[in-house]
Structure 1
């Protein structure tokens, strides 16, 4: 059974084969926006200090 591969995926796969230097730039871009060190203590404080919202925001009786 053949697995579907979109035109965009085929294009990107061919592009990366022809331009291997783009892999370095791709990793740098990912590090810039996504790969950040995580502060577990800050995440825990944020979770614990979160205030629950009302079920219906505009209800003035609750």
Structure 2
């Protein structure tokens, strides 16, 4: 049984095979935007400071 693979996925696989240097560029971009060090204490403070959402958001006080 063959699994479906979109045209875009096929294109990207072929393109990445033809341009192996892009793997490094992709990893650098990910490190720039996503792979950030996590601070457990800051996350705990943010969770404690969170204000609960009302059941009906647009209801006036």
Structure 2 distance, partners of 1:15, 1:26, is 13
Structure 2 distance, partners of 1:59, 1:40, is 34
Once the two structures are TM-superposed, the CA of residue 56 in structure 1 deviates from its matched residue by 1.4
Across the aligned residues of Structure 1 and Structure 2, the Cα RMSD in angstroms comes to 1.1
Q: Which runs of 4+ in 1 moved over 2 A?
A: 57-60
Aligned to 1:50: 50
Where is the helix percentage greater, Structure 1 or Structure 2? 2
Structure 1 distance, partners of 2:33, 2:53, is 30
Once the two structures are TM-superposed, the CA of residue 59 in structure 1 deviates from its matched residue by 2.4
Aligned to 1:18: 18
